Structure 1
Amino acid sequence: MKTKKVGIIGLGHVGAHVAYSIAVQGIADEIVLVDQNESKVKSECQDLIDSVAYLPHRIKVTVGGFADLGDCDIIVNSVGNIDLLRGNNNRLMEMDFTIAAVNGYVDKIKASGFDGVLINISNPCDIVTRQLALGLKLPRGRVFGTGTGLDTARLISALAEQTGIDHKSITAYMLGEHGSDQFAPWSCVSFRGKSLDEWAKTDKRFQFDRDEMQKYAIGAGWRTFSGKFCTEYAIATTAARMVHIVFHDEKQILPVSCELCGEYGESGLFVGVPAVIGATGAEEVVELSLNTQEKEKFHHCCEQIKKNMEHLKEIK
């Protein structure tokens, strides 16, 4: 039986919790930890080994280098410098650091012979995911990012609290840039097949301020950051869930940052949209039936991402 192997690049707040989530849930058989801080990564490795000692499953955790990622089925990229966000609410502040870091090791990942699926967490997610995809040159879909996945979860949780409907019965998405320009396409929100607009005609629970709820979903991460100066648990479990989905070829539709090649009338960029996630990554972009206003918002998001892409020319 083939073992399931995951490599994690970057053992900061998020990367360490991704490793922990994968380990304690028994999602993988082996985890390889890669980080430039040798003492930190060794300590994380020992802590992870200790954490699974009393669990019913076994998992091998090792410290490695980029050359050790070649036989991984999945890599999770979580390199970043969260301290750059102190005093501002702009994920783009991380771009210069993160892109420079990725440019420094993407060729090493490629040289290792890696031929699996890479899931990117690092911000700005859409920009970094594209940079990794360009460097690795894997087939389309094999590199994707968590994108608006967690923001969507926050939106659904808010809808559940507002309406009293269980979150598993709600279909909703946040689309666009993983940042302040993302938006909720309300025309696509439904509760087991009945649209939000239909519910709102007769039920006051569904007659809420949509702009305020969208604002809440976008800003939730910053509320977490404001008190602890990092976000870790939610994004880590989101990434671990995506790893599980890929390993089990679940074909689940999730909002992720993936490449558009004509879908939604856009090409040449990575952006948050629903996609079918399976064994080979983001296997199919799902095009929602957006109304005219929502289409305009989506294209605005894409234009903002393209502007950010222009800044890449200045980063070495």
Structure 2
Amino acid sequence: MTDAKVWLDGSLVDWDDAHVHVSAHGLHYGIGFFEGIRCHGTPQGPALFRLTDHLRRLARSAATYMVSLPYTVDDLAEGCRAVIRANGLTDSYLRPIVFLGPGPNPLTAPYRVAIIASPNGPLVGGSKDHGVKAKVSSFQRMPSHVLPPAAKATGQYLNSYLALQEALTSGYDEAIMLNTEGHVTDGYAHNIFVVRDGELRTPTLASGALEGVVRDTVLTIAGEDGIPTRTDVLVRTDLYHADECFLTGTAAGIVPVLNVDGRTVGSGKVGPVTQQLAARYNDLTTGGNTAHADWRELVG
């Protein structure tokens, strides 16, 4: 990617010149905050889906750790657009990241910001369109009095990494995490939904689930489509007994889960509610539906 551009500390630089020193405290201590954002081709041109909502969450993540972003949300939004334009991208994945730079004292070191864009982004394992197998992890989601689940902070994802590695080495595609009380929180990096008797349910934020942007999108469009929807406390057997189950995330979109812990979910095929919501979500992100036009923020 030697011809690619990266937005680094307010300027576009060549990919090979986007350097970070090995003494950066973000590398040593996992001190940083990040987002994943998708850009899609629409009839009006490339558009970043819910860009402002993502960047506002980035600011909230930093504020949770008493950190002020070195750039405004508007500055970062323009940085995202600039990276898309500079790299000539349309359908792409962006990763804005704020991390603690080098300095003699981590309490006074400056925070640095980078925005990277690529034609592809990380996805869950297995077949995204045809469904995945998931394992409930033996590693529990850290409780809120240990680390705040509302923040997308870099170091916190070691918890998810352990869960994913366990799932992959056990022959599964995805990890599902429980909290210390045995309640379902989310996937290793995705929110989770179940459908039973036509009702859509997802774990409450109080259970430890991240306040996902796609999670909110799905709850919104499900309500508009007349699908009964609620946030709830879910336990492991709610996954086993579900008629349908799916994961949501910016990188992955909506991904059906067809098997949990070796147990077939529902019919073992992608269910009608999952299909309906996936189609609606795709139309929203690509401009095939004119609803929620404010969610599609044009690159220009």
Q: Which has the higher helix share?
A: 1
TM-score by length of 2: 0.29
TM-score by length of 1: 0.28
Q: Which has the higher strand share?
A: 2
Which structure has more relative contact order (CA 8 Å, sep 6+)? It is 2
